[in-house]
Amino acid sequence: MDTPLIDPFARPINYLRVSVTDRCDFRCVYCMSENMTFLPKKELLTLEELDRMCSSFVRLGVEKLRITGGEPLVRRDIMTFFRSMTRHLDAGALKELTLTTNGSQLSRFADDLYAAGVRRVNVSLDTLNEKKFADVTRWGRLPQVLRGIDAAQAAGLRVKINAVALKGFNEDELFSITEWCASRDIDLTWIEVMPMGDIGNEDRIGQYWKLDDLRARLGEHYTLTDLPERTGGPARYVRLEETGQKIGFITPLTHNFCESCNRVRLTCTGELFMCLGQEDNADLRAPLRNHPRDDGPLEDAIRAAIARKPKGHDFDYSRQSVDGRVSRHMSHTGG
State yes or no: 268 annotated in a binding site.
no
State yes or no: 204 annotated in a binding site.
no
State yes or no: 263 annotated in a binding site.
yes
State yes or no: 261 annotated in a binding site.
yes
State yes or no: 289 annotated in a binding site.
no
Q: Please give the Cα distance from 176 to 16 (Å, whole number).
A: 33
State yes or no: 95 annotated in a binding site.
no
Could you tell me the CA-to-CA distances from 304 to 5, 96, 126, 298 in Å, in that order?
Answer: 10, 25, 38, 10
Element (H, E) at 130: helix 130-137
- Complete DSSP assignment for 48-95: HHHHHHHHHHHHTT--EEEEESS-GGGSTTHHHHHHHHHHHHHHTS--
Element (H, E) at 124: strand 120-124
Residues paired with residue 271 on neighbouring β-strands, in sequence order: 283
Report the amino acid identity of residue 211. Answer: L
Could you tell me the CA-to-CA distances from 168 to 132, 310, 333 in Å, in that order?
Answer: 11, 34, 27
State yes or no: 42 annotated in a binding site.
no
State yes or no: 275 annotated in a binding site.
yes
State yes or no: 27 annotated in a binding site.
no
State yes or no: 167 annotated in a binding site.
no
Q: Please give the Cα distance from 247 to 241 (Å, whole number).
A: 11
State yes or no: 181 annotated in a binding site.
no
Give the residue among 120, 303, 65, 323 at the shortest CA–CA distance from 205: 323
State yes or no: 160 annotated in a binding site.
yes
Rounding to the nearest 10 degrees, give the CA dihedral for residues 235, 239, 240, 241.
-170
Q: Residues annotated as binding site for [4Fe-4S] cluster?
A: 24, 28, 31, 258, 261, 275
Residues flagged as binding site for S-adenosyl-L-methionine? 30, 70, 124, 194
Q: Residues annotated as binding site?
A: 17, 24, 28, 30-31, 66, 70, 100, 124, 160, 194, 258, 261, 263-265, 275
Annotated binding site for GTP: 17, 66, 100, 160, 263-265
